[in-house]
Amino acid sequence: MIERQVDGALAASVQSGKDWDRELAEGLGRLADRLDETDVDELARMAAIWMQKLDPSMSRRALLVKLSAGLSIAAANPALATNDESSTP
């Protein structure tokens, strides 16, 4: 009896994880679409507004530098190269 309950809870947890993964992927897709439609100046304004809402004790500049470096490294990853590199700004 307990074994069935554990198996059922485990199955529900796995399904919940799959739902979360799907929702995360959909959210990231919407974010990518929004970023694709946004010019650099607007993106900078959005980031500045976001940074103003963070805890003042947090190093905002360090956080932006870390984010920028991470995105730059990701952009340089050969695995991300596509056949349509001409669309790069």
Q: What DSSP letter does each residue of 5-16 carry, written as one string?
A: HHHHHHHHHHHH
Higher confidence at residue 10 or residue 19?
19
H or E element: which one contains 86?
none
- CB within 8 Å of 60: residues ≥ 6 apart: 51, 54
Q: What is the pLDDT of residues 46-70, one digit of tens each?
A: 989 988 898 888 898 999 999 999 9
Q: What DSSP letter does each residue of 21-73 carry, written as one string?
A: HHHHHHHHHHHHHHHHHS-HHHHHHHHHHHHHTS-TTS-HHHHHHHHHHHHHH
Q: What band does 19 get if pLDDT is binned at 50, 70 and 90?
A: confident
pTM exceeds cut of 0.75? no
In one-letter notation, the amino acid at residue 61 is R
Q: What band does 24 get if pLDDT is binned at 50, 70 and 90?
A: confident
Domains of the chain, by residue range, sit at 1-37, 40-77
Residue 65, pLDDT score: 93
